[in-house]
Chains A and B, each alone.
Chain A
Amino acid sequence: DGGITQSPKYLFRKEGQNVTLSCEQNLNHDAMYWYRQDPGQGLRLIYYSQIVNDFQKGDIAEGYSVSREKKESFPLTVTSAQKNPTAFYLCASSITPAGKTEAFFGQGTRLTVV
C-alpha cells in the first residue's frame, strides 16, 4: 500500500532532550512538509522540502531542524531550543510543490515533553 508513515505515534521526552520524528513516504512525491498543531488550533508550517537536498523554513521553524537526504524520508528534529515542544506533529507530502496538488498526511506523532 502506498502511503505516508510517521513514527512513533506517541513520544515522551524529558525537557532539554532533542528528539527526532520520523516521516517516510512511498508515494514518489517530490514535496514534503512538517506541521505542528496545538489543541483547538490549525496547522502551522514548520519546514517544507520541494526536492531532495533542499528545504525551506516555514512560519515556525525556530527550535526545529530537518534533513532531506532521500526522496522518501523527511525527519524532523525537535531541539532543546524549542520552548514549547508538546504538540501534535503532522507530516505530509504532495506530488508537486507549493500546494498546487492535494497533500497526503501521515497519522501524526503526539509529542509530550515533561
Chain B
Amino acid sequence: RKEVEQDPGPFNVPEGATVAFNCTYSNSASQSFFWYRQDCRKEPKLLMSVYSSGNEDGRFTAQLNRASQYISLLIRDSKLSDSATYLCVGEGLAFGKGNQVVVIP
C-alpha cells in the first residue's frame, strides 16, 4: 500500500532560506497526521502534529489541505541543525519515505 507519498529529494537549502515540501495521502477519511524528524542512523522523533487549522511551532509550520489530500511542512530561516529527513505519517501509521533536507552554509 502507498497511503502516504513524499518526494525524497534531497532538498538542498541555503542557510537562512525557507524550504517547503508536501506529503500526499490516499485515505480521504484520515483525520490524524504527524511530521517526524529522523537524523541519520537514529530513530524518528515527533516534530509536530498536523491539525485541520494548521499548526505553527517557531520556524516550523504544518498545514493540511483536505481538498487536495496533502499535508505540508514549511521551515523558515533554515539552520544547519535542520538537516535531517522529515517523515510524514497518517492514520494507520503508514510512513512516507521522507524528505531529506540538507542545509548548506
**Contacting residues, chain B, for A108 (C-beta < 8 A):** 42-43
Least CB distance from B65 to A in Å reads: 19
Name A106's closest neighbour in chain B (CB-CB). B43
Interface size counted on chain A using CB atoms at 8 A: 25
**How far is A45 from B34 in the complex, measured between Cα atoms in Å?**
16
Any B CB within 8 A of the CB of A92: yes
Any B CB within 8 A of the CB of A78: no
Least CB distance from A108 to B in Å reads: 5
CB–CB B93/A103 < 8 A: yes
CB–CB B93/A48 < 8 A: yes
**How far is A42 from B62 in the complex, measured between Cα atoms in Å?**
20
**Contacting residues, chain B, for A87 (C-beta < 8 A):** none
Contact A99 to B43, CB < 8 A, known contacts A42-B97, A42-B98, A43-B87: no
Any B CB within 8 A of the CB of A105: yes
CB–CB A100/B91 < 8 A: yes
Q: How would residues 65 to 93 of chain A score, 1 for a CB under 8 Å from any chain B CB and 0 otherwise? A: 00000000000000000000000101010
Contact of A100 among B32, B44, B46, B97 (CB under 8 A): B32
**Interface positions of A (Cβ within 8 A of B):** 33, 35, 40-45, 48, 59, 88, 90, 92, 94, 98-108
